[in-house]
Structure 1
Amino acid sequence: MAHDDTAQLATDLRVAVGKVTRRLREQTPGSDLTHSQLAVVSLLESGGPATSTELAKARGMTPQSMGTIVAVLLDSGYVEKSSDPRDGRKSVLSLSDEARRQIASGRLAKEDFLAHLIETTFDAGDRRRLADAIALLRRVAEAP
């Protein structure tokens, strides 16, 4: 493939993924969280409870900046704070039950949207090609 073709393919992929992402966001309206706040929620969901310092290191930001993000998440009820069982001077942050419910509900809404779209828009051949494309997208997402 020529360099110009590769560059155009990269552009087309970026645009298409961006549009799909926006369509999926539309399925869960009402989230007022910023990108940085969502990233912290995601870290807590995937990695479990953590201190603010650990979250700051994971995101490559200053503890002060993370403190601002955490304060908003605490105020909004997405995150709860408790004493660190290893060191009572520190606080451990974790997702609230309500945040977990909202995350699960949002994922279900997105998956329902996609399932309906696939079912009503694509024939069997399209579905096979989509499955192949998903395998390629995973490789893109997991590439070093």
Structure 2
Amino acid sequence: MRRTKAYEVAAAMLMSVSLLKRRIRDSVDDAALTSPELRVLSRLDRAGPATTADLARQEQITPQAMGSTVALLEKRGFVARSPDPRHGRRMLLAPTREGEEALRSGSSAIADRFTDALLAAFDDDEIEVLRAAAPLIERWAERM
């Protein structure tokens, strides 16, 4: 019974998250950060400097794929490398001021749109349920 319920929730969430992801992608202009770029900048902003390999592990992608995303962020001036003080040969990535500004402006544009949609379609109790669910969804995503 528990597995059946979990499967039903997983299937419903997959459909919902897919639609949400599509709507986000459709609403962002070409100058905006891509989803992978946004995730990397957000992770660096929240957790602090990290290596490309660390980011790849956290995002569960290959180091080569992460390297491509990092290269694009570097080209745009959004991240900078610096030597790891604990490991001389490793390089740490951190957001630049421009990267932080891009993160704030990109995130806030999407967050503003989310806010408008929440206010238009949900009452206060429903918004509270979604607020409470957000950390659970994040924890679930990290375990996949």
Q: Same fold (TM over 0.5)?
A: yes
CA offset at residue 19 of structure 1?
1.5
Where does residue 16 of structure 2 map in the other structure?
A: 16
- Pick closer, same or farther for the CA change 1:20–1:128 going to 2, 3 Å: same
Q: Percent identity?
A: 29
> Kindly tell me: are residues 15 and 48 of structure 1, through their superposed partners in 2, closer, same or farther at Cα, counting changes over 3 Å?
same
Verify the 8 A CA contact 1:27 1:109 in the aligned structure 2.
Answer: no
Secondary structure class of the residue paired with 1:77: coil
Q: Please give the root-mean-square deviation of Cα atoms over the aligned residues, in Å.
A: 3.4
SS of the equivalent of 2:50 reads coil
Instruction: Report the counterpart of residue 124 of structure 2 in structure 1.
Output: 127
CA separation in 2, counterparts of 1:26 and 1:8?
27
User: Is it true that 1:96 corresponds to 2:96 in the alignment?
Assistant: yes
Matched, 1:106 2:106: yes
| Shift, 1:18, TM fit | 1.9
Normalization by structure 2: what TM-score? 0.67
Under a length normalisation based on structure 1, what TM-score does the superposition of the two structures give?
0.67
Deviation at residue 130 of structure 1 after TM alignment: 3.5
Structure 1 residues 4 and 100, CA gap change in structure 2 (3 angstroms): same
Whichever of the two has the greater Rg, that structure is 1
2:95 alignment partner AA: L
Q: Give the letter for the 1:139 counterpart.
A: L
Q: Does 1:74 align with 2:74?
A: yes
Give aligned pairs, total: 140
Q: Could you list the runs of 5+ residues in structure 1 that have no partner in the other structure?
A: none
